[in-house]
Structure 1
Amino acid sequence: MGASNLEQFVDSICDESHLRIEDDLGDGFVRLRTSEAERRQAAHDIRSTEDIVIELLRNARDAHARTIFLAVGRDGNTRKLTMLDDGDGIPLALHEKIFEPRVTSKLDTVHIDKWGVHGRGMALYSIKVNSTQAKVLASDKDFGSAIYVETDLTKLPERADQSTFPTFEVTEAGTYSMRGPKNIVRTATEFALESRKACTVYWGSATEIAATLYEFGATTTSPALRAFCKDPLELPVCKRLCTASDPASFAEIAEELGLSLSERSARRILNEEIKPIISLAELVRTQAIPAKEKAHETSKAASQKAVDRDGRSLRLCNEDKAMLADSCKDAFLDIANRYYLDPLGAPEVKVGPQKIEITLRFDKLR
C-alpha cells in the first residue's frame, strides 16, 4: 500500500480531530491541516449571537436582497434566529453545500464593509460550527431564502441585556449616533442604517415578522394570484404567507419558514389585529433626537435645576452653634454610657446651604 493510500485509509477510519497536523516542522512548530485551520478560524469569526446576526445580514445583502426580515426568539438557553430575504436565493442542490468552508457565490466580488471582508466562503460555515442548528428552510434560485439558526447560550454567549432598544441622535451632518448595549437589535439597526441604500431590514418576534411578511406579500402580488395560487411554493419565499386562506394554513406556511406561531395568532394577523412592524431605518428616523434639540433639553433641564435651587445661604451665630453643640453633647452622654464610649471634645457644628452637620468624636472604652 502506497503512502498516499495509507493516509487515505487512516483518514477514513479515524476521527479527523486526531489528524489535525499536515506536517510536523519540529521544535513545536506544525503545519495545520486545512480543515483544522478552518475550524479555528470559524471559532474566531463567531464569538456571540450578535456575530451570527451580522453575518446573516451581510449574506442577504450580498445576495442582492432588497428586503430582509429577522425573527428573533429565545427558549431558555436556546436562541432562535430566522432570516428571510428576497435576494438571489440558493439552488436546491446547494442547501447543505453552502455551510461547507470556502463555498461562495462571490468569486469576483469580495465585499469590504465596516465589519471586514465578506466573500471568503467562511461566514455560513462559521455559523454552522458555532450553532446547534443551521439550515436552509426554503430557497431556490431567484426565490429568496429562509435560513434558520439555533444556538446554545451556555456555549455561545450574547449580550445580557437584549430587551433595551438603542437610542439615536441625528448630528448636524445628518449622520446617526447610537447609544445602548450592543445587543441583537442594535447590531441589526447599525446594519440597517449602514446598508439603507441597498436594503430594508425588519426586526421582531416570529409573530411580528409573520404579520409583516403577510402585508409584504399582499402589496407585491395581485389579488388574482393570491386567490388562485394552488401551491405557495410557486411563489418567492417572502410572499408565500399572503396565499393563506385560513389560520391553519397560515400557521403551517409560517412554520415551514421558521416562524412558529399559534393558529390564534394567525387568525389575529388575518383579521389585522396584529399590525405589521415598520423597518428599523424608519424606526430610527421617527425616534431619533436632533443633537441640537438634545443639547437644548439638557441645557434647559440644567437651567431649571439651577432656578429651582435656593441660592440663599444659611449662617448661624456662634451662640446658636454653641447651644446646638451643648444640646447634642448632653444627648450623646447617655448613649455613650450605654455603649461604653468616651466622648472626645465638644461636638463640631458645620453649616451648609442646605444642611447642618454635627460631628461627635469618641473612643471605645476597653
Structure 2
Amino acid sequence: MADSQELISFIAQMTGEANLRVEENLGEGFVRLRVSEAERRQAKHDIQHVEDIVIELLRNARDAGAQRVYLAMGKTDALRSLVVIDDGSGVPEDMQDRIFEARVTSKLESMHMDRWGVHGRGMALFSIKENCEEARVVASGAGKGTVISVVADTERLPERADQSTWPELAKDDAGHPYCARGPHNLIRAAAEFALEEHHVCEVYLGSATEIAATLYAEARRSLDASQLLFIDSERELPVVDRLGYAADAADFMRIAASLGLELSERTAHRILAGTIKPVRSVASRLLRERKERPHEVAVDLTRDRRGLKIAREDLDAFSRTLERDFSSLAERYFLTLAHEPTVRVSRDRITVTFDVGKEE
C-alpha cells in the first residue's frame, strides 16, 4: 500500500493534479477519488440548465447584501450571455479570481438556507465556472458592488426553448402570489426569485441595452452633480452608478463595456437622449399585472349605455403609451407617476387621470 501511495504521489508531481483523478485504487473496480475530482463531478451535477445559473447568481448577489440586482441577458447563436450587476458588498481585487475556486466563500458564519437549498458552501460559482465557457468578475471592489459575466454554450448546457414568455401569477391559500403558469425559462427563474426575495432586494431583467438605460436612469436620480466634480474616474463610484459619470455617447459606450454591457454608439446616444426607457423591477411588473385584472372586472370601463365601447386590450395599450409619454414630462419637472394612468370611458368622453407626486 505504501508503494502504491508513493507511485500516486510521483505521478501527481510529474503530470499535475488535474491529470490524476484517483487517490487510491481499492480493487475490484472501486477507487477513492481525489477531492478535486469529486468536487468537479459535484459541480457538474449542481448546474443542469442555464436557468440554474440565474438562480445561483441572484442568490450570490442577495447574500452579498445587494438591494438592487440587474440581470442583462443576450444570446448569439448557441452562446447565452448573462451579466449580473449588484450594489452589494463587492469582492476585493485579490479575491476576484479565487471566488470561482471550490469551497471558497465569505459566508463562514452566515450560510443561507432558502427554498433552493443551502447557499454558502463555496460551490455555486465553482459549479458555474465548471459548466460554462466563461465565468468572471468584470468589475468590483470592496463596498462597490459586483459585476459577474457568464457565457454558456446551450448546446452543452441546455435552456428552455421559449425564453420570451413571462409567467402568470396566482395566489396560494395564504394569499401570497406565485408563478403558476408559463415555461420554466430564465424569466421565470428570475421572477420566482424576485417574488421570494421581494422585501430583501429588487431584481431588474432585460437586454444589455435595457439594463444600461435603467442603470443610467437610477444613477442620474441618485448622484449629486457636485459630487461628480471631485471624482477623477468612474471607478471611484459603485458599479451601479458608473454610467451616471458618462459625459457623452463615446464615454457611455466605454463605461458600459467596462460593466460587461456591449452597446453601439447609436444605442448610447438613444439612452442619453431618453428614447430608451428604463425597465421596471420584475416584482413590480408581475404584481402590477396581477392587480389590474380584478380592478377591471369590478369596474368595466369599456361599457357605455350609449354604445361607446373600447376593447380592454386597446385601453391597456393606450394606458401604457400615455405612461411612456409622461416620462419626459416627469423628468423635466421632477415628478413621479404613482401608478399607471387611469382611463375612464363615459357617455361622450374619454378621461385620463395621472396621479403624480413630486420628487424630493
What are the superposed Cα offsets for residues 234-257 of structure 1, whole Å, 9 maximum, x if unpaired?
A: 101111000001000001100010
Question: Secondary structure in 2 aligned to 1:134?
Answer: strand
What do residues 18-70 of structure 1 show as CA deviations (whole Å, max 9, x unaligned)?
42111222233221110010011001100111011100000000000010000
Q: Is the contact between residue 172 and residue 291 of structure 1 (CA under 8 Å) also seen in structure 2? A: no
Partner of 1:317: none
- Residue pair 2:21, 2:37 contacting (<8 A) in 1 also: yes
Identity %: 51
Aligned equivalents of 1:247, 1:142: Cα separation in 2: 27
Q: Which residue of 1 aligns with 2:217?
A: 215
Deviations 1:120-168 (A, max 9, x none): 1000000000000110000011110000000111101001110111112
The aligned residue for residue 141 of structure 2 is 140
Taking the aligned partners of 2:291 and 2:236, their CA distance within structure 1 comes to 44
Rounded Cα–Cα distance in structure 2 between residues aligned with 1:93 and 1:139: 11
Tell me whether 1:105 sits opposite 2:106 in the alignment.
yes
Q: How far did residue 16 of structure 1 move?
A: 4.2
The equivalent of 2:356 in structure 1 is: none
Stretch moving more, 177-186 or 285-294: 285-294
Superposition deviation, residue 173 in structure 1 = 3.5
State the distance in 2 between where 1:266 and 1:291 align: 37
- Residues 290 and 102 of structure 1: CA distance in aligned 2, closer, same or farther (over 3 Å): same
* Structure 1 residue aligned with 2:329: none
* CA distance 1:283–1:290, shift in 2 (3 Å): closer
CA–CA distance in 2 between the matches of 1:42 and 1:83? 20
Look up the equivalent residue of 2:210 and give its one-letter code: E
Pick from 251, 254, 266 the counterpart of residue 256 of structure 2. Answer: 254
- Report the AA paired with residue 185 of structure 2: N
**Are residues 1:13 and 2:18 paired?**
no
Aligned equivalents of 1:171, 1:7: Cα separation in 2:
57
1:265 pairs, out of 250, 267, 272, with: 267
Partner of residue 27, structure 1: 28
- The one-letter code sitting in structure 1 at the alignment partner of 2:250 is A
Partners of 1:169 and 1:291 within 8 A in 2: no
Q: Describe the SS at the equivalent of 1:158.
A: coil
Q: Provide structure 1 residue ranges, at least 5 long, that are not aligned to the other structure.
A: 297-366
- CA 1:292–1:210: 2 relative to 1, 3 Å: closer
Following superposition of structure 1 onto structure 2, how do residues 116-195 of structure 1 map, counting pairs within 5 Å? 116-170=117-171, 173-178=174-179, 179-195=181-197
Following TM superposition, by how much is the alpha carbon of 1:115 offset from its aligned partner in structure 2, in angstroms? Answer: 0.4
The corresponding residue for 1:233 is 235
1: CA distance, partners of 2:77 / 2:231: 39
What amino acid sits opposite 1:219 in the alignment?
R
Counterpart of 1:12 in structure 2: which amino acid?
A: Q
Structure 2 gap ranges (5+): 299-360
Deviation, 1:215, is: 1.4
Kindly state the Cα deviation for residue 221 of structure 1 after the two structures are TM-superposed. 1.7
Aligned to 2:75, the other structure's residue is in SS state: strand
- 8 A Cα contact 2:12 2:19, kept in partner: no
Map of 1:62 onto structure 2: 63
In the alignment, is the contact (CA less than 8 A) between 1:170 and 1:290 conserved in 2? no
Match of 2:79 in 1: 78
- Say whether the 8 Å CA contact 2:25–2:32 is kept in structure 1: yes
Q: Which amino acid aligns with 1:280?
A: V
Asked if the contact 2:51–2:185 (Cα under 8 Å) also holds between the matched residues in 1, the reply is: yes
CA distance in 1, matches of 2:203, 2:218: 13
Residue 10 (structure 1) shift: 2.0
Alpha-carbon distance change, 132 to 116 in structure 1, aligned in 2, over 3 angstroms: same
Shift of 1:224: 1.1
| Residues 335-362 of structure 1: CA deviation (Å, up to 9, x unaligned) | xxxxxxxxxxxxxxxxxxxxxxxxxxxx
Match of 1:197 among 196, 199, 203: 199
Query: Using the alignment, how far apart are the partners of 2:25 and 2:10 within structure 1?
Result: 20
Q: Distance in 2 between matches of 1:5 and 1:172?
A: 63
**Aligned residue identity for 2:33:** L
Q: Distance in 2 between matches of 1:159 and 1:13?
A: 43
Q: Which moved more, 1:28-37 or 1:65-74?
A: 28-37
- Residue 293 of structure 1 and its aligned partner are, at CA, apart by 8.0
Larger radius of gyration: 1
Tell me, in whole angstroms, the C-alpha distance in 2 between the residues paired with 1:21 and 1:5. 13
Which stretch shifts more, 61-70 or 6-15?
A: 6-15
Q: CA RMSD in A?
A: 2.3
Contact 1:171–1:290, Cα closer than 8 Å, also in 2: no
Residue 201 of structure 1 aligns to a residue whose secondary structure is strand
User: Normalized against structure 1, the TM-score is what?
Assistant: 0.76
For 1:204 and 1:227, the matched residues in 2 are separated by 31
Q: Which amino acid aligns with 2:29?
A: G
Q: Report how far residue 12 of structure 1 moved.
A: 3.4
Which amino acid in the other structure matches residue 222 of structure 2? Answer: T
